[in-house]
Amino acid sequence: MSIARPVLSPISTGLIFYPEQSSQMFFEGSEKKIELRVKQGNASLRGFSRDFWEQGLALAGADILSVLSNGECDAYVLSESSLFVWDSKVLLITCGNTNLIEAAVFLIDELNVDNIASFTYQRKSEFLSHLQATRFEDDCQLLRSRLNGTAYRVGHLDGHHHYLFCSETTEMLSRSTSLLMYHIKGDIAEYLRQPNQTKAQILALLQLPKLLPEFVFDDHLFEPCGYSINGLYGEHFLTMHITPQEHSAYVSIETNLNFEQSSFNIFSSMLKILTPCSWDIISVNQQLSADSYPLHIEVACCELALNAANSFNYKHYIQPVREELTAAVIKV
């Protein structure tokens, strides 16, 4: 028996074509993420030139596609997810086969470890982890050569799981919440897989301008499919990345909106629009109610106290319906 061997595309760090099945394509949507905050008294991070950020991103294997700025933040749409820069904080998210740890080390060294107030590194388990340049354990060895911290795994190795490295800090980390959706379905999911999509139509289908009218958005439509969008409103941000390929569909949304002070939950709206088979909610220093989510079963959770000031929360949900599976043909 012979199985078609995947070939990495020379134009993308996460795109894989199967020569014997040219209609199929896989992209690693699962992301890696760093958040770095500098101590008070340091110069604004927004003062660094675009060349500086491009230098760090090149080490990870990502490029800047566009930038959106307001009085509080610079938001970059990347070839592989997003970069946000505030005066004292950087949030960098990359997907595909990017080597984010190299960009992390670059930032730590350039900013000087003595100027860093807090640092976190998160990594979602990948669909095809053997194609990644490093393992989380390798990444931690590099980080620990520069920072003291603790590494965690949340979840079982044979299912969805998340890795977290958190530096030693007494400061409160920034509030953030992520929604990770798996195997989206329905008419909108089908549209996202079709040729001749438009950014305007995707934005209308997602209803983001209607749901978040105060936000200004910057988006990018990839070829042959895939969509990224950043949004800013004052110091608040939202970023969303869609990998719609049917057999590896994955959508991530992250924001620092305070759900505890508002009855509106953008995640509930996105769950109803994209109807995933399962999803994760990951939050730092914030609790979310699932009351407004579509019908679901909470099948796993973890509440982790990182220290006296910070907490990490993880919950995994599934729809309470049977999934009809389709057998994939393997050429012999």
Helix/strand/coil (H, E, C) string of 68-133? EECCCCEEEEECCEEEEECCCEEEEEECCCCCHHHHHHHHHHHHCHHHEEEEEEEEECCCCHHHCC
Q: What is the pLDDT of residue 127?
A: 58
Instruction: Render pLDDT for 4-61 as a digit per residue (tens, 0 to 9).
Output: 333 333 333 444 443 333 235 666 657 889 999 999 999 999 999 999 999 999 999 9
Q: Is the pLDDT of residue 123 over 90?
A: no
Instruction: Render pLDDT for 287-314 as a digit per residue (tens, 0 to 9).
Output: 888 888 999 999 999 999 999 899 999 9
Q: Is the pLDDT of residue 188 over 80?
A: yes
Q: 0.75 exceeded by the pTM?
A: yes
Q: In what order do the strands lie in the sheet with 89-94?
A: 64-69, 74-78, 81-85, 89-94, 32-38, 116-124, 162-167, 149-154
For residues 105 and 321, the model is more confident at: 105
For residues 248 and 84, the model is more confident at: 84
3 state SS of 301:
strand
Instruction: Render pLDDT for 224-235 as a digit per residue (tens, 0 to 9).
Output: 889 999 999 999
Q: What is the pLDDT of residue 136?
A: 86
Q: What is the pLDDT of residue 306?
A: 93
Beta strands 250-255 and 278-284: pairing type?
unpaired
Q: What is the pLDDT of residue 303?
A: 95
Mean pLDDT of 142-169: 91
Mean pLDDT of 266-272: 95
Spatial distance between the Cα atoms of 330 and 124, rounded to a whole number of angstroms: 28
Instruction: Judge whether 26 and 7 are in contact, CB under 8 Å.
Output: no
In this structure, what is the dihedral angle of CA atoms 288, 294, 274, 132, given to the nearest 10 degrees?
50
Per-residue pLDDT band for 159 (boundaries 50, 70, 90) equals confident
Average pLDDT, the chain: 87
For residues 89 and 196, the model is more confident at: 89
Q: What is the pLDDT of residue 131?
A: 67
Cα-based distances in Å from 34 to 31, 86, 117, 310: 10, 14, 14, 16
Beta strands 89-94 and 250-255: pairing type?
unpaired
Spatial distance between the Cα atoms of 112 and 110, rounded to a whole number of angstroms: 6
- Residue 62 carries which DSSP code? -
| Alpha-carbon 271 to chain mean position | 16
Q: What is the pLDDT of residue 237?
A: 97
Q: What is the pLDDT of residue 23?
A: 31
Per-residue pLDDT band for 184 (boundaries 50, 70, 90) equals very high
Instruction: Render pLDDT for 198-214 as a digit per residue (tens, 0 to 9).
Output: 999 999 999 999 999 99
Instruction: Render pLDDT for 278-294 as a digit per residue (tens, 0 to 9).
Output: 999 999 999 888 888 99
| DSSP annotation string for 167-201 | E--SSPPPPEEEEEEES--SHHHHHHTSSS--HHH
Q: What is the pLDDT of residue 129?
A: 63
Give Cβ neighbours of residue 203 (< 8 Å, ≥ 6 apart).
Answer: 209, 217, 219, 229
Q: What is the pLDDT of residue 179?
A: 96
Q: Is the pLDDT of residue 253 over 80?
A: yes
